[in-house]
Every structure is written in structure tokens, then in C-alpha cells.
């Protein structure tokens, strides 16, 4: 789209202060309005949300825990439009639900049943509020609203029929009772980050899906301790472990039974039970935002792990496409997928986006990142041609499908760099550099105990539980934002350089050890998570998901105008070791931000996390999600709204009831200008 660029000062707003209030705070001159919350009806026939725990029909309502979000423009006559700024669809992830012991307590009248077995009626509500929604939003006059009866509105839940696509489709690892030929699976789960393809389709990342499954206390033996046990454990499934919600106890129907992945049948391949069911989760899933007749496709070539966002490098005609991804778990990895097909700019306006997805996302190479202390790094291909993978002693890979399903094990085999929880990544439109939020890691330790703890390294250099940086030496509670610059081969490069754009920290923390980016009171933050560059303004929006600084402030969103890799300085951190001497770790700190290049823009209500960033192409409406306000409410207080830790958004005038609800807000500037100016 041709967007005329107004002459304005970006980051001209006055920074907002840290806040513990139960409101959305934005700068003077801006307005934030809730427009789409948990339970909002998505069809004309669905009753209004009462928000008292008696609502049903969640397949036709907004799901819970709004997370990643993308904008898809619609013309006045309802066609896909790259330039529309007043009508569009939002693709919204519904990651999870607010729970303490099993039940999603804000959606049940009495808080629900937290013991086993779970009543089917509760399970059915809970499965329906996970997944993805597409919802039409419209501006009438100056007011944005969602469109309840739009024919475009659509839900995907964790039970919706979906295609497996790419190397895993039809593989023995994907055979289940549901799909005897291994070509399909049901549902998408724990949808966290998002992405948008250069051909205008929606990508959703499946993150903490493993915890929703259970398997029996003797399942390792039932599997004859075959290699599937190694794989299950690597992805966090131990025999006898509880599932997050106990959905497997809802009844005997397959929609409940599939959450128990024990080997129960006698078939050789799993076609009579759900032993392989978990292999159907953990992917980047592609969806056609505009066409409700199209099934979603799980793009298995991009690897199976705890996905956050999927960010494309800038497409170059005649060159392969690169997709950057992170695996958000402690000590996990950063990945890149490089397409076999070279980019054809004509595909940008494809009328069959999932066919275009087949072309670019089903065939290619999967790489994992290795960071070096000299500021360089390597992309290591995960394929059977690498002897480290073919001869890996821990797990015997069969083929590329096995590598995709068990990408974590393949990355272990090649010695990839274990990171401080890679959350969102995004590409800086100004120079193509790739930014990664590394949110925090309690498993960094100068004197490690146990195999899960790692010493700090150059790319993950901080290890102080004490956030002032004075005494203790365990963990990176505040996180950092790392950035990478590809080598001369661009998307297909096998080498890169890197530095740390920002170290999150409290402003008062030791500037030599913790507050390495010298953040001020207008800039300080903890646990960056959501991160996305605005295509309109180039602003780098940073959102936090924090538990370390929440005694001082609710989670927040900041606006940054970063420079480039290598614009700062090398710094060496010297940690005293228990047995004496020091552990010296060098890192690269990007140019320190100024009051003109980094500012706090928004602070959310109590006990929320900021998630999801989408905007109209003119940059004048910014959509953001407030996830799980009030999640710290004690379930026992469900009947007493005065004891809810948050009553947002009803306290902002949105919707019935006092129970807090995850919701999408729209931010506009009162003078009609672009957001962040």
C-alpha cells in the first residue's frame, strides 16, 4: 500500500510512569478502548456474555487469554485489502485460561471442579475457549467495534479438524486413532505468538501444549522403553504426570480420551490409541484468514517445539525465504527455516494462500543457532546428512520427519546454544536484522547444581537472582533482547553477527552488572516477551510478561527506535565463584537508549501480561491484547468480586459482570496521528 508518511517526531509522547492501578495507562493525547473480550459472541444467534460463569457455547465466542494477533484488511465490499484502514479481520490467539488447580475458574459459576474426574460440561467449555479466533473489526466515525454478526468470524479450537503438511504428513509418528494415515490431527493448542506470511495468511505458534496431555504411571514399560519414551521426556511428558486440566477424565468419547497418550492398544503403529497424539501438537500452523472453508495446515517442516512467533526476513525476489522462530522454554533454542522455493513477488497477492504456503513452507532446511563469544554465530542444519544427528547416541533418528517432530533432540545433537527462553522474534524493516526477546531464565548459575543449570555465556550473560546485582549468582530474572544480522547470503546465510539490543533491568540496579543498558525510570522493564516492529512507523514495540518487577509495576509496553548490531560496546562481567576466582563473561551491549529512542508507552491492569500487536497499515490504530488480568485472584474468592485482584475491563465500562476478562484494546491518538508519535 502507498502510505504517505507524515512529518512527525516518533516517540514524541510523554513516557507513562510505572503503575499498579487496575487500568490501562497510555500517554496524554492517546485513548485505549476495549473492543473484544473473552466470551464475546461471534454470531448473531449467540447470547450476550453474562460473565457470571453460566455462559455456554464457547465455540461461537471469543476464546480466553488473547495472545498474538495479526491484521487482515477488508475492502468496503468485503474483499482482502492491503490498504484498508477502517475495516479488517483480527486473527487472535487464545493461548490458555486462568486456572490454579485444573479448572478455568472464571468461566464456571462456582469456579468449577478442581478435582478429578472433571465434569464433561466444564471440559467442553474449556476446550472451546482455547485456539484462535478471526473477528471482524470496523471503524464507524471515530469508534472501533468488533462486528458480532460478521460472516468472516471464525473459531478454531483445540478439537478442530486440521491437516498435517510437510515432512510429518503421513509419517508413522503421526498415526493415531483419529488419523490412521497420519495426515490429520485435531486442534491447535496454547497458541502464543503469531506471524503473517508475505502472501497474507496467518501463522500461529503452539507453545506449552505438552502439559495438557497425560500418560499412565506404567507407560514407559508399556512402550517397552522404546525411543518414544526418550522423545516424550525431552518434551516434558513423564509417565504418571498430571495434565493441566484433567480433560482426559471428561468421558470416554475420543475428544476426552485423546488427552491420555498412554499406549493402550495392541496395534504396531498407534492406530488404536493416542500414543502418538502429542506429535500432532507443537507446530507453526497456517490459516486462511478470509476463507472459512479451508482447513488449517500444520507446517511441520518448521519443527516441533514450544513455538512463539514466526517472523519472515524481508522477502527478496529470486531468493529463498527465511522464517525465524524461538522455542520458549528454559535452555531451549533459536531456529531458522529456509525455503527450497525462491520468492516470486507475484505470490504476494495469491488468491489461494494455503497453496502458496505449500510452496514455501513444506520444503526447505531447518537450522538452529550457535552463538560464539566473539560476536559471531552459525546456523547449523538439522538433517540426516549431519553425522552428529545420524549418529546421535541419545536418540536414533529415522528420517527428516523424525527430526522435525523431535527438533529439540536434533538441536541437542549438534550442540546448539541453550538460550534464556526465546519468546517473540521480529524483523527490523529498516535493516533486516532479527530481534529476539529472551524473557528470563532461572537456570543460569555461576556455580551450577544439577544438569538443568547452565553457566552464563556471551549471548546469555547475566546470572543474578538479586536484581540489584549485589550478592547472589543464580538466574536471569529480567531477560534481554538479542539481535542478529545475517551474513552476506541473507536469508540463506550460514553465519551471522549478534549483540544485545537491550538488557531489561530495574533503573536502580547496578549499571555495571545488571542495568547494562542504563535504563531510566521511563524505560525500565522486566521480562520482555511480545516484540514486533511496526511496518508503518518502524517502532519496535516491546511487551512484558513479568513476575520479577510486579511489586513495583504491572506489565507494560514500550516503544523503541533501535540502531543496529555492533553499534555499542563489548562489556566483560566478572562473577566471583564459590571456590574462589572469577568466571569472566564478555558480551556485546547495543548503543544505550536515550530519552528519544526508548520510552514506556503503556502499563496494563493488575496481574495481566501484554500480548499481541497489530495495526492498520496507516499506523493510526494499534490493537493490543491484555492477557489474564486478575489471574492472581484466589479461586476460593470466586463469589466475592471485591476480592478479585482485577475487575478490568468491566471497570473500564466494557461488558457485564465483574469477573476480569482477557481482551483486545484499540489505541488511537486523539489528534488522528500515528501511534507512537
Residues 604-663 touching Ca ion, rule: CB under 5 A, are none
170-199 residues in contact with Ca ion (CB under 5 A) are: 192
Q: How far is the CB of 309 from ligand FEO (least distance, A)?
A: 10
Check residue 616 and report its DSSP letter. Answer: -
273 is a contact residue toward ligand FEO (CB under 6 A): no
Q: Which is nearer to ligand FEO, 62 or 403 (CB)?
A: 62
Instruction: Indicate the residue among 16 and 557 with the shorter CB distance to ligand FEO.
Output: 557
3-state helix, strand, coil in the chain (%, to 5): 15, 30, 55
- Give the binding-site size for ligand FEO (rule: CB under 6 A): 7
Q: Does 308 bind ligand FEO (CB under 6 A)?
A: yes
Q: Which does 206 bind (CB under 5 to 8 A by kind): Ca ion, ligand FEO, none?
A: none
Residues 6+ apart with CB under 8 A from 141: none
Rounded Cα–Cα distance for residues 649 and 658 (Å):
8
Question: Can you tell me the distance from the alpha carbon of 501 to that of 225, in angstroms, rounded to the nearest whole number?
Answer: 45
CB of 544 to ligand FEO, least distance (A): 11
> Which of 255, 314, 44, 248 shows the shortest CA–CA distance to 153?
44
Burial class from Cβ neighbours inside 10 Å (0-12, 13-18, 19+) for residue 642 reads: exposed
DSSP 418: P
Q: What's the closest the beta carbon of residue 558 comes to ligand FEO, in angstroms?
A: 18
Classify 340 as helix, strand or coil: strand
Task: Fill in the DSSP letter of residue 29.
Answer: T
Candidates 545, 546, 615, 618: give the one binding Ca ion (CB under 5 A): 545
3 state DSSP class of 411? helix
Contacts of ligand FEO in 326-355 (CB under 6 A): 328
Residue among 303 and 528 whose Cβ is closer to Ca ion: 528
| Partner whose binding site includes residue 207, from ligand FEO, Ca ion, none (CB under 5 to 8 Å by kind) | ligand FEO
Site for ligand FEO in 407-426 (CB under 6 A): 423
Q: Pick between residue 99 and residue 423 the one whose CB is nearest to Ca ion.
A: 423
Distance separating alpha carbons of residues 616 and 600, to the nearest angstrom: 21
What is the contact mask toward Ca ion in residues 409 to 448, using x (rule: CB under 5 A)? --------------x-------------------------
x/- string (CB under 6 A) for ligand FEO, residues 79-118? ----------------x-----------------------
3-state helix/strand/coil string of 211-230: HHCECCCCHHHHCCCCHHHH
DSSP characters over 294-332: SPPEEEGGG--SSEEEEEEPPP-BTSEEEEEEEE-SEEE
Residue (328 or 618) nearer to ligand FEO, CB: 328
Q: Judged by CB, which is closer to ligand FEO: 328, or 546?
A: 328
Q: Give the DSSP H/E element, type plus range, for residue 286.
A: strand 284-287
Site string (510-539) toward Ca ion, x via CB under 5 A: -------------------x----------
- Give Cβ neighbours of residue 565 (< 8 Å, ≥ 6 apart): 433, 483, 484, 485, 497, 498, 499, 590
- Mask: binding to ligand FEO, 184-223, rule CB under 6 A, as x and -? --------x--------------x----------------
Count CB atoms within 10 A of the CB of residue 147.
16
- The residue among 360 and 623 lying less far from Ca ion, judged by its C-beta, is 623
* Residue 130 or 177 having the CB closest to ligand FEO: 130
Contacting positions for Ca ion (CB under 5 A): 192, 423, 529, 545
Contacting positions for ligand FEO (CB under 6 A): 95, 192, 207, 308, 328, 423, 529
Amino acid at each position: 500500500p502507498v502510505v504517505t508518511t507524515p512529518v512527525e517526531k516518533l516517540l514524541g509522547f510523554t513516557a507513562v510512569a510505572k503503575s499498579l492501578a487496575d487500568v490501562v495507562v497510555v500517554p496524554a493525547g492517546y485513548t485505549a478502548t476495549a473492543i473484544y473480550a473473552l466470551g464475546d459472541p461471534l454470531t448473531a444467534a449467540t447470547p450476550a456474555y453474562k460473565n457470571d460463569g453460566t455462559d455456554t457455547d464457547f465455540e461461537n465466542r471469543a476464546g480466553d487469554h488473547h495472545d498474538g494477533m495479526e491484521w487482515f484488511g477488508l475492502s468496503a465490499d468485503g474483499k482482502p485489502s492491503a490498504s484498508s484502514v477502517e475495516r479488517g479481520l483480527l486473527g487472535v490467539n487464545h493461548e490458555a485460561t486462568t486456572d490454579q488447580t485444573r479448572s478455568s475458574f472464571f468461566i464456571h459459576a462456582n469456579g468449577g471442579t478442581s478435582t478429578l474426574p472433571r465434569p464433561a460440561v466444564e471440559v467442553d467449555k474449556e476446550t472451546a475457549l482455547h485456539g484462535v479466533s478471526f473477528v471482524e473489526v470496523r471503524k464507524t466515525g471515530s469508534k472501533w467495534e468488533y462486528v458480532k454478526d460478521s460472516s468472516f468470524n471464525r473459531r478454531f479450537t483445540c478439537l478442530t479438524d486440521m491437516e498435517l503438511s510437510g515432512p510429518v504428513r503421513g509419517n508413522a509418528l503421526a498415526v493415531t486413532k483419529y488419523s490412521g494415515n497420519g495426515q490429520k490431527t485435531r486442534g491447535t493448542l496454547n497458541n502464543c505468538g503469531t506471524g503473517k506470511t508475505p502472501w497474507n495468511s496467518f501463522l500461529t505458534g503452539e507453545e506449552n501444549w505438552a502439559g495438557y496431555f497425560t500418560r499412565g504411571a506404567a507407560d514407559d514399560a508399556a512402550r517397552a522403553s522404546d525411543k518414544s519414551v526418550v522423545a516424550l521426556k525431552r518434551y516434558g511428558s513423564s509417565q504418571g504426570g498430571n495434565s493441566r486440566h484433567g480433560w482426559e477424565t471428561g468421558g470416554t468419547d475420543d475428544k476426552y480420551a485423546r488427552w491420555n497418550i498412554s499406549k493402550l492398544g495392541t496395534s504396531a503403529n498407534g492406530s488404536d490409541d493416542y500414543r502418538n497424539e502429542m506429535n500432532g501438537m507443537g507446530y507453526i500452523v497456517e490459516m486462511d484468514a478470509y476463507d472459512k472453508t479451508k482447513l488449517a495446515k500444520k507446517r511441520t517442516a518448521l519443527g516441533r517445539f514450544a513455538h512463539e512467533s514466526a517472523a519472515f526476513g524481508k522477502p527478496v525476489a529470486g531468493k529463498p525465504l527465511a522464517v525465524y522462530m524461538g522455542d520458549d522454554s528454559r535452555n531451549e533454542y533459536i531456529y531458522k527455516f529456509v525455503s527450497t522455493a525462491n520468492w516470486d513477488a507475484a505470490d504476494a497477492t495469491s488468491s489461494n494462500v494455503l497453496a502458496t504456503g505449500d510452496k514455501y513452507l513444506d520444503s526447505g532446511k531447518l537450522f538452529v543457532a550457535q552463538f560464539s563469544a566473539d560476536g559471531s554465530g552459525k546456523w547449523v542444519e538439522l538433517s540426516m546428512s549431519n553425522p552428529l544427528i545420524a549418529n546421535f547416541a541419545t536418540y536414533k533418528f529415522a528420517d527428516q520427519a523424525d527430526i522435525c517432530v523431535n527438533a529439540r533432540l536434533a538441536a541437542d545433537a549438534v550442540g546448539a546454544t541453550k538460550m534464556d527462553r526465546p519468546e517473540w522474534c521480529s524483523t527490523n524493516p529498516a535493516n533486516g536484522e532479527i530481534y529476539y526477546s529472551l524473557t528470563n531464565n532461572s537456570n543460569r548459575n555461576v556455580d551450577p547444581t544439577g544438569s538443568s543449570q547452565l553457566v552464563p555465556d556471551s549471548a546469555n550473560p547475566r546470572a543474578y537472582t538479586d536484581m540489584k546485582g549485589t550478592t547472589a549468582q543464580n538466574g536471569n530474572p529480567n531477560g534481554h533482547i538479542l539481535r542478529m544480522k545475517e551474513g552476506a547470503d541473507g536469508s540463506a546465510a550460514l553465519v551471522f553477527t549478534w549483540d544485545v539490543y537491550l538488557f531489561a533491568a530495574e533503573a536502580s540496579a547496578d549499571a555495571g552488572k545488571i542495568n547494562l543498558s542504563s535504563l531510566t525510570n521511563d524505560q525500565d522493564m522486566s521480562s520482555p516477551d511480545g516484540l514486533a516492529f511496526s511496518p508503518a512507523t518502524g517502532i519496535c514495540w516491546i511487551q512484558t510478561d513479568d513476575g520479577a518487577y510486579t511489586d513495583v509495576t504491572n506489565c507494560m509496553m514500550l516503544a523503541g527506535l533501535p540502531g543496529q548490531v555492533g553499534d555499542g560496546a563489548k562489556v566483560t562481567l566478572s562473577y566471583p565463584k564459590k571456590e574462589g576466582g572469577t568466571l569472566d563473561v564478555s558480551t556485546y551491549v547495543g548503543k544505550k537508549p536515550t530519552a528519544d529512542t526508548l520510552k514506556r508507552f503503556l502499563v496494563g491492569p493488575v496481574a495481566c501480561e501484554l500480548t499481541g500487536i497489530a495495526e492498520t497499515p496507516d499506523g493510526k490504530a494499534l490493537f493490543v491484547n491484555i492477557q489474564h488480568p486478575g489471574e492472581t485472584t484466589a479461586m476460593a474468592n470466586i463469589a466475592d468480586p471485591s476480592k478479585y485482584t482485577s475487575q478490568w475491563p468491566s471497570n473500564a465500562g466494557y461488558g457485564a459482570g465483574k469477573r476480569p476478562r482477557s481482551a483486545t484494546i484499540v489505541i488511537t491518538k486523539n489528534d488522528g496521528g500515528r501511534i507512537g508519535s
